[in-house]
Amino acid sequence: MKLSPMSETEFLDYIDSAIDSYSKELLHSKRFTLEQEAFKFASWEFKEDIFHDGYHTENTLVYNLVHEAQTVGIIWLLLEDDVAFIGDFLVYPNYQGQGFGSSALNQIETIAQTNGMTAIRLGVFKHNQVAERLYRKHGYSIYKKRETDYILEKLLD
């Protein structure tokens, strides 16, 4: 499995599905109780806060996870100061449990180190115990506890 930079067309398709998915997670976590509020927040976060310049947002790297010419997931990384933040990480359901998530995390570590980062952080909803187990298996620990999620961190050598 390798990380392949997303094209601008793929990115535009990704953003819409990411907003839908994120708004559903926000509802599931009970951070929001109304679908409209969750969707509005998710749209703002993706389109105005994080990807304020769309595909060309500086210091933001967006990848497809590719195995044998098939896209099996996505991951993106925001580089700020000396910390990389994994903003979204998804292995599609048909490909879960096959090591693609572990491979992607290992490759992201290398990319972060190459870019001078000293740590990687990410948010994980408390209800997503499968993801939390994967991150802990890879050396992530709690950096900050919040009401509906954790910020996990891994220090890089």
- CB contact set of 70 (below 8 Å; sequence gap of 6+): none
Q: CB atoms < 10 A from the CB of 72, how many? A: 21
Give the chain's mean pLDDT: 95
User: What domains lie within the chain, and their CATH numbers?
Assistant: 2-155 (3.40.630.30)
pLDDT at 119: 98
pLDDT at 11: 96
Which pLDDT tens digit goes with each residue over 9-55?
Answer: 999 999 999 999 999 999 999 999 999 999 999 999 999 999 999 99
Instruction: Taking residues 91-103, report their average pLDDT.
Output: 94
70 — pLDDT class (breaks 50, 70, 90): very high
Percent of the chain with pLDDT over 70: 100
pLDDT at 157: 82
Phi and psi of 56, rounded to 5°?
-95, 15
Measured CA to CA, the distance from residue 102 to residue 135 in angstroms comes to: 9
Query: In Å, how far from its chain's centre is CA 58?
Result: 17
Measured CA to CA, the distance from residue 3 to residue 108 in angstroms comes to: 9
Measured CA to CA, the distance from residue 122 to residue 151 in angstroms comes to: 5
